[in-house]
Amino acid sequence: MAKYLLVSFKTCPWVQRAAIVLREKKIEFEFRHIEPDNRPDWFLAISPHKKVPVLRLDDRVSLFESSAIVEFLDETIAPRLHPADPVARAINRAWTDYVPTFSQAVTGSGYAATEVDFAKAVEQIPVAFDRLEKALEKQGAGPFFNGAAYSLVDAAYAPFLQRYFYLDRVKPLGVIEKFPRLKAWAEALVARPSTHSFPPAEFEAMYREGLRRRKSWVSQFIEAPRVAAE
Ligand SMILES: N[C@@H](CCC(=O)N[C@@H](CS)C(=O)NCC(=O)O)C(=O)O
């Protein structure tokens, strides 16, 4: 069994995607978090794009780009998370290719610097949600993208659907309620233990801190933590 090291920024959704697949496959791995603003030399030496995630194999080879990492894991370690049928597999891959566009709508809203930019980004959320809703209608019953079987599509969308809920709790957006299949799917993903690299409340606090640090427009709506009454 190879030795796996996953190099991470704690709140990176692309790292989370790789970590989810490692957990779904019950692969033991070292999870090493580094700071975005202080990337160590050893990391710069093993990461071709200087980005996370990097999956280091046996301290010998670096895999990078979350989609390449999870495809590699799926080809090498059971259980298979891609459907066996080539047509279904192609459709799954097409939907994971849509993740960067989808993620832009959600993370773009969270990180928008002004009210105008926020409004523009939020307009894109129902567009992306509607596409997924229609795909889920075609896929049939849930709870996951392929029905009962968990797949790489689930692992790819879980981090972004989780962040939608986080953002919605900072500033209510009220979008997902209009897409019942997507909402049920998102709830199933958030309820799945493999989605979580950290305890959920701790991770939501990190997300909020990230909005504050970036001085995003929406961060003004984050409530100060309540101090217990003496
Ligand atoms: N397409 C890449 C995206 C990875 C990515 O954007 N990682 C961010 C952190 S979430 C990063 O390392 N950013 C640092 C940089 O851009 O220099 C993937 O799927 O792995």
Give the domains, in start order, of the chain with CATH numbers.
Answer: 4-76 (3.40.30.10), 86-218 (1.20.1050.10)
Cβ–Cβ < 8 Å for 109, 166: no
**Is the per-residue pLDDT at 217 higher than 50?**
yes
Chain CA centroid to CA 211, Å:
16
Q: Is 34 exposed, middle or buried (0-12, 13-18, 19+ CB in 10 A)?
A: middle
pLDDT in tens, 13-32: 999 999 999 999 999 999 99
Whole-number average pLDDT of the chain: 95
**Is the per-residue pLDDT at 63 higher than 60?**
yes
**Considering only CA atoms, which residue is closest to atom 12 of ligand 1?**
51
CA of 142 to the centre of ligand 1 (A): 30
pLDDT tier at 226 (50, 70, 90 boundaries)?
A: low
CA of 38 to the centre of ligand 1 (A): 15
CA of 14 to the centre of ligand 1 (A): 7
Cβ–Cβ < 8 Å for 109, 211: no
- Ligand 1 in reach of 54 Cβ (< 6 A): no
CA of 228 to the centre of ligand 1 (A): 38
| Short-list 13, 10, 15, CA closest to 63 | 15
pLDDT the model gives residue 227: 60
Q: What is d(CA 103, CA 97) in angstroms, rounded to the nearest whole number? A: 11
Chain CA centroid to CA 77, Å:
21
pLDDT the model gives residue 140: 83
**Is the per-residue pLDDT at 230 higher than 50?**
no
Which contiguous run of DSSP H or E holds residue 61? strand 61-64
**Is the per-residue pLDDT at 223 higher than 90?**
no
- Ligand 1 in reach of 163 Cβ (< 6 A): no
Q: Side chain identity at 198, as an amino acid letter?
A: F
Pocket test for ligand 1, best of 8, 21, 39, 52 (most atoms within 8 A of CB): 52
pLDDT in tens, 100-126: 999 999 999 999 999 999 999 999 999
- Ligand 1 in reach of 17 Cβ (< 6 A): no
DSSP H helices, the chain, are: 13-24, 41-46, 66-76, 86-97, 99-111, 115-139, 152-170, 180-191, 200-213
User: Whole-prediction pTM value?
Assistant: 0.96
Pocket test for ligand 1, best of 20, 51, 55 (most atoms within 8 A of CB): 51
Q: What is d(CA 145, CA 204) in angstroms, rounded to the nearest whole number? A: 24
**Is the per-residue pLDDT at 220 higher than 80?**
yes
Task: Answer with the residue of higher pLDDT: 97 or 226.
Answer: 97
Cβ–Cβ < 8 Å for 169, 207: no
CA of 9, closest atom in ligand 1: 9
Of the listed ranges 99-108, 132-141, 170-179, 217-226, the least confidently predicted one is 217-226
Return the SS3 of 202: helix
90 is written with which tokens?
A: 């192609």
Of the listed ranges 41-45, 58-62, 138-142, the least confidently predicted one is 138-142
pLDDT tier at 86 (50, 70, 90 boundaries)?
A: very high
- Ligand 1 in reach of 50 Cβ (< 6 A): yes
- CA separation, residue 16 to residues 147, 158, 170, 221, 225 (Å): 22, 9, 21, 26, 26
CA of 66 to the centre of ligand 1 (A): 9
Calculate mean pLDDT across residues 213-221.
96
